[in-house]
Amino acid sequence: MLLPLTVIVFVAALLLLALSGWYAARSRLVDDRLLLVGAVLELGVLVQAVVALVHLGSVPGDDAETATFAAYALTLPFLPPVAVFLSLKEKTRWSMGVVAVAAFAVAVMTARLQQIWNLGG
């Protein structure tokens, strides 16, 4: 895994989490700024997924770690677009809660991907 890419994805996820939390507190709906941060996050997650799947054979650890790594790498690209889609369809402040939860999940799963990758030292 590329540590700079992991940091970029993690920071983008935290930025989306903070922005959507602020929007929820202010009862604001999705706008271009939130969509831009979501798009940057999605781009980073897609690049990370491609890199992860290319290097899947060199994941340290046993088969369980490899399966977890592959599952996280394949699941991550679906979270931001689904959250943004739901926020566009749901016209209440809780739609920002969905985006915040998805951003938090991306941050945690990205950190876990890096943790699994670092098992080999």
pLDDT digits (tens, 9 = 90+) for 12-26: 999 999 999 999 999
pLDDT digits (tens, 9 = 90+) for 38-79: 999 999 999 999 999 898 888 777 888 889 899 999 999 999
Alpha-carbon Rg for the chain, nearest whole angstrom, is: 15
Query: Which residues lie closer than 8 Å to 53 by C-beta, 6 or more apart?
Result: 70, 73, 74
Model confidence pTM above 0.75: yes
| pLDDT at position 120 | 63
